[in-house]
Amino acid sequence: MLSTAGSREEADRIAAALVDERLAACVNVVAPVTSIYRWRGAVDRAEEVLLVVKTRRVLVARVAARIRDLHSYELPEAIAVAIEGGSPEYLAWIAGETQARRRAPR
């Protein structure tokens, strides 16, 4: 999943929450990026921070909702990009890190 944030601090906060809540195995925080976009009828330009969120398809809606909850933007970016392939070990790691941990028996 891809998203952007208006500052490094906001991007770090969102990334940490997604990983801590096991919605993402990893979030790459890439800065700076220049975004040129149309908003409310005008073309605008901003320096932003890109978030590349590694998660599972079944969590996409939850990740997008959490990004909306944590974000300062009126309309934050939350775009899912399908993983077409990859190292089986890396993909297994993503799956393992985005599953709820089972509680130890009492």
User: DSSP alpha helices (H): ranges in the chain?
Assistant: 8-20, 60-70, 88-97
Q: Measure the N-to-C terminal CA separation of the chain; round to a whole number of Å.
A: 37
Q: What is the pLDDT of residue 99?
A: 85
Within its chain, how far is the Cα of 71 from the centroid? 11
Q: Is the pLDDT of residue 87 over 90?
A: yes
Written as one letter, the residue type at 39 is: W
Instruction: Give the chain's domains with CATH numbers.
Output: 2-97 (3.30.70.120)
Rounded to two decimals, the pTM is 0.92
What mean pLDDT is predicted for residues 55-78? 97
Q: Is the pLDDT of residue 77 over 60?
A: yes
Q: Is the pLDDT of residue 26 over 60?
A: yes
DSSP at 99: S
* Phi and psi angles of residue 56, each rounded to the nearest 5 degrees, phi first: -100, 155
